[in-house]
């Protein structure tokens, strides 16, 4: 193996990071603090370059050691931002099909209810018709009994026929009452069917809109996701395998997919446990990759965060 004595990557900053700097120089005057922060970082980088040159021979075994810890931290934080965006896209895309599914389920449920009501109205209409026929039969019977009463031989026969007539009249009254009840329930069901059908129409229109939206979003986000994954991969080039493996492992175990977090109010931005002052100092130095002693997430200070932003 030839010794890469003057590897260009070792002495120059990654082009991606460099590009980002140019527009940032034109910051508004009120962001004075941020500006000086950046200046500091830049100076730090210049110093780092020299030390990197000196150290280079020692670190040649590690293929990506030519990047300073600071560069790695920037790349790691950047990687986290990109990967988080990918996570967000995937969550959104995961929720939309569920919404469509919910609507489809609701429409199916409404359809079944309408179908059941229709079945019930059909059978009620049939029994109303049967009852109306029953009344006709009773009326025929009454007529027959009345005719028979004209030709009775004694009072007993006459009374017996009167009782039959009375019974049939009661039967008619009862049946008419039933028919009224059925008709009112039938009316209620028909109104309910109408109502459900208008709800169904609305839901079907919603579903159409949602399905179109879903198609658009899938097409849109797939492109965005591809671009993000591409820039994620570009960022990974600045980070050695060992760190990348750790990054992926932490990300997979963390509920929110965060493996690189910022110090916020002296605490880890991932698990919110306080970070000891000495640790915070080390983190601000950008000389080492430092992880939270509670959750194992990689910690960065606002210097790195502002640089990436």
> Which positions touch Zn ion (CB under 5 A)?
268, 270-271, 292, 294-295, 297
Beta carbon nearer to Zn ion, 179 or 299? 299
Q: Token digits for 130?
A: 């049967």
Q: Which residues contact 15 (CB under 8 A, 6 or more apart)?
A: none
Beta carbon nearer to Zn ion, 182 or 294? 294
Integer Cα distance of 19 and 266 in angstroms = 31
Residue 223: CB minimum distance to Zn ion, A: 35
Alpha-carbon separation of residue 172 from 18, 42, 128, 148 (angstroms): 97, 102, 13, 20
Beta carbon nearer to Zn ion, 161 or 259? 259
Of 87, 105, 86, the closest CA to residue 210 belongs to 105
Q: Token digits for 71?
A: 């560069």
Q: Which residues contact 256 (CB under 8 A, 6 or more apart)?
A: 270
Q: Which residues contact 253 (CB under 8 A, 6 or more apart)?
A: none
Q: Is residue 264 helix, strand or coil?
A: strand
Integer Cα distance of 277 and 272 in angstroms = 15
Beta carbon nearer to Zn ion, 142 or 258? 258
Integer Cα distance of 151 and 62 in angstroms = 125
Beta carbon nearer to Zn ion, 260 or 268? 268
Residue 275: CB minimum distance to Zn ion, A: 8
Integer Cα distance of 55 and 33 in angstroms = 32
Residue 259: CB minimum distance to Zn ion, A: 11
Residue 268: CB minimum distance to Zn ion, A: 3
Beta carbon nearer to Zn ion, 76 or 179? 76
Of 63, 16, 13, 8, the closest CA to residue 235 belongs to 16
Residue 205: CB minimum distance to Zn ion, A: 48
Residue 70: CB minimum distance to Zn ion, A: 21
Integer Cα distance of 173 and 161 in angstroms = 18
Residue 195 bridge partners (DSSP): none
Residue 281: CB minimum distance to Zn ion, A: 17
Beta carbon nearer to Zn ion, 38 or 251? 251
Beta carbon nearer to Zn ion, 48 or 301? 301
Residue 271: CB minimum distance to Zn ion, A: 3
């Amino acid at each position: 193996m030839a010794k890469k004595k003057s590897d260009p990557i070792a002495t120059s900053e990654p082009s991606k990071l460099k590009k980002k700097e140019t527009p940032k120089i034109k910051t508004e005057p009120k962001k004075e603090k941020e500006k000086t922060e950046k200046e500091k970082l830049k100076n730090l980088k210049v110093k780092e370059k020299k030390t990197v040159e000196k150290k280079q021979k020692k670190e040649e075994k590690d293929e990506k050691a030519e990047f300073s810890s600071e560069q790695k931290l920037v790349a790691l934080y950047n990687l986290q931002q990109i990967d988080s965006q990918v996570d967000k896209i995937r969550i959104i895309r995961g929720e939309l099909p569920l919404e469509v599914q919910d609507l489809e389920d609701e429409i199916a449920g409404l359809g079944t209810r309408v179908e059941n009501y229709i079945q019930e109205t059909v059978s009620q209409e049939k029994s109303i018709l049967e009852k109306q026929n029953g009344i006709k039969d009773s009326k025929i019977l009454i007529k027959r009994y009345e005719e028979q009463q004209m030709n009775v031989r004694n009072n007993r026969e006459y009374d017996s026929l009167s009782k039959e007539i009375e019974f049939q009249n009661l039967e008619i009254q009862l049946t008419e009452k039933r028919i009224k009840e059925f008709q009112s329930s039938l009316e209620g069901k028909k109104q309910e069917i109408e109502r459900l059908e208008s709800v169904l129409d609305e839901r079907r229109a919603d579903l159409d809109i949602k399905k179109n939206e879903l198609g658009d979003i899938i097409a849109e986000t797939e492109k965005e996701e591809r671009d993000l994954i591409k820039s994620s991969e570009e960022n990974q080039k600045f980070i050695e395998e060992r760190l990348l493996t750790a990054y992926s492992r932490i990300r997979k175990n963390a509920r929110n997919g965060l493996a690189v977090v910022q110090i916020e109010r002296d605490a880890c931005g991932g698990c919110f446990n306080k970070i000891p002052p000495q640790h915070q100092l080390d983190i601000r130095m950008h000389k080492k990759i430092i992880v939270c002693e509670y959750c194992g997430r990689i910690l960065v200070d606002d210097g790195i965060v502002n640089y990436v932003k």
